[in-house]
Amino acid sequence: MKTILLIGLGRFGRHVAENLHQLGHEVLAVDHREECVNAVLPYVTSAQIGDSTNEAFLSSLGVRNFDVCIVAISSDFQSSLETTSCLKELGAKMVVSRAERDVQAKFLLRNGADEVVYPEKQMAKWTAIRYSTDHILDYIELDESHAIFEVSIPGDWVGKSVGELDIRKKYNINILAVKEDGHLNAVLTPDLVLVEGTTLLALGAYRDLQKCFRL
């Protein structure tokens, strides 16, 4: 369990709060809007109304005591930039800031952010990949070159064993697990036979995954 300072409770920040709650983390949520603070009260350990660009206010929160500080401000980039910079100056261990464009990311990184997230850009890419073909069910980006795809088993693989297909040697792809009827099997053996209706979790470089699964 981690202690997390979450600043900015718009739509993105609220979703972050809900997911952190589900994961069991302790969260202090902050926003200058009372209605936004009230909306996340069921999902956070504590919450405060205040201006995150005010150094005295941020200092009063005990920034150094949090494992991660997340700046989720979405409507005011200047405030996001000032908050990010101030958090780092106050000794924050880890600052993750939200950006909408590459130029924003550059400024955030130069002014104290350890990591930058692009909610819209990342979701747009996921949507494009997920719905551009019928046999992709999910996708997790690991870096610019590698990803994990959940894909339907190609028709010509049905009835064949993992060892017989020798996917790793032929395509340079690792099959991490097989999912059938919602149940995940991560213990794969060479004699495991793939059946119709099963999906695979495959890890590899984009170019190899595209070649293998005709993405």
- 164-199 pLDDT, tens digit each: 888 888 889 998 888 888 788 888 888 888 888 888
Give Cα separations from 111 to 19, 20, 58 (angstroms): 27, 26, 16
Q: How far apart are CA 56 and CA 53, in angstroms?
A: 9
- 62-90 pLDDT, tens digit each: 999 999 999 999 889 999 999 999 999 99
pTM, two decimals, is 0.70
CATH topology of domain 122-213: Alpha-Beta Plaits (3.30.70)
197-215 in b/e form (b: 16+ CB < 10 A) is ebbbbbbbbbebbeebbeb
CATH 3.40.50.720 segments of the chain: 3-117
What is the predicted pLDDT for the residue at 29?
97
Name the residue among 5, 16, 15, 12 with its Cα closest to residue 88.
5
Q: Cα angle vertex 127, ends 213, 114, to 5°?
A: 105
Q: Is the dihedral of CA 91, 96, 101, 105 positive or negative?
A: positive
H helix or E strand, kind and range, residue 5: strand 3-7
Q: Does domain 3-117 have CATH number 3.40.50.1980?
A: no
| Stretch among 17-21, 91-95, 99-103, 106-110 having the lowest mean pLDDT | 99-103
CATH 3.30.70.1450 segments of the chain: 122-213
58, 33 in Cβ contact below 8 A? Answer: no
The DSSP symbol for 63 reads G
Output the six-digit token pair for 129. Answer: 């990949």
- 124-170 pLDDT, tens digit each: 666 776 666 667 788 887 877 888 988 888 888 899 888 888 888 88
Output the six-digit token pair for 164. Answer: 């017989």
Residue 106 DSSP SS3: helix
